[in-house]
Amino acid sequence: MTSQNPVAPLAGRVAVVTGASSGIGEATAEHLASLGAKVAVLARRADRLTELVSRIGKNGGTALAITADVTDVQAVRAAADRVKVDLGGADLLFNNAGVMLPAPIEELATDQWQHQIDLNITGLMNVIGAFVPQLVEAAAERGVGDLVNTSSITAQNLFPNFAVYSATKAYVTHLSRHLRMELGQKKVRVSAIEPGIVGTELQSHVTDDGVRQWLAGSKEIMEWLTPEDIAHTVGFLASQPARVNLQQVTIMPTGEAS
């Protein structure tokens, strides 16, 4: 990439966004499209993806809906094949699908532990496995590629009852640092984005009463981030000159202490 169009800095780029049917992924897909990227949007809810693709199209962008469960390695590989054939291969991956199910460890909510590990770690790795070859190939041809993984402030700080979720996100941040070392030499920038609390569907999946009350209380005393705040941050990362890798971004609500 030698020169950028200032109005559409991502023109000519092909982005893949996982977890694109709601929240951070949905807002980021729309924003990347508005910056000129063609965007493949992945999630399980086909109806939500269809609406998103149509909205992006109405706003002058190009998007492709791919219904896939990222914990299904074959489905993710098939999605990657489709991106290659239909859009010419990804050079920007926003690896974002995830779930947060905090609860005291002594509740032994082992199904929820497994769900978080399966999606936040194994799903994330399935997506990396399917798309890294495209990122490397595209970076060699187009001069830059981006792998942006959604981590969380919980990767750094301690939150009561968030042990399993936090550990999955610590995995994401640490993995990202290592991958940056490997893939940077191939012109693929790797970043971890670590948001504090963002108002999305994420909180609605929480089943533990204590955590639900804590979330409700936090909403009273601070203004949460919006999905668009994260979308703009991802757009900013991907719009940097090819030599610049913003490797880790922590983005917090102004009123959130830790």
Chain positions contacting ligand NAP, by CB under 6 A: 18-25, 43-45, 48, 69-71, 96-100, 119, 123, 150, 152, 195, 197-198, 200-202
165 included as an active-site residue: yes
- d(CA 124, CA 192) in angstroms, rounded, equals 12
118 C-beta neighbours (distance < 10 Å), count: 15
Find the catalytic residue in 94, 165, 171, 224.
Answer: 165
- Give Cβ neighbours of residue 136 (< 8 Å, ≥ 6 apart): 145, 183, 186, 188
Which pair of tokens denotes residue 22? Answer: 């709601």
Which pair of tokens denotes residue 87? Answer: 């859009």
- Strand, coil or helix: what is 255? coil
Looking at the Cβ atoms of 139 and 234, the one nearer to ligand NAP is 234
Looking at the Cβ atoms of 5 and 213, the one nearer to ligand NAP is 213
H or E stretch including 92?
strand 92-95
Q: Which of 204, 197, 203, 241 is nearest to 4 (CA)?
A: 241
- d(CA 255, CA 221) in angstroms, rounded, equals 8
- Rg over alpha carbons for the chain, rounded to the nearest Å, is 18
Query: From residue 208, how far is each of 117, 203, 205, 218, 236 by CA, in Å?
Result: 18, 11, 9, 16, 36
**How many angstroms separate the first and last alpha carbons of the chain?**
38
> Hey, which residues are catalytic here?
165
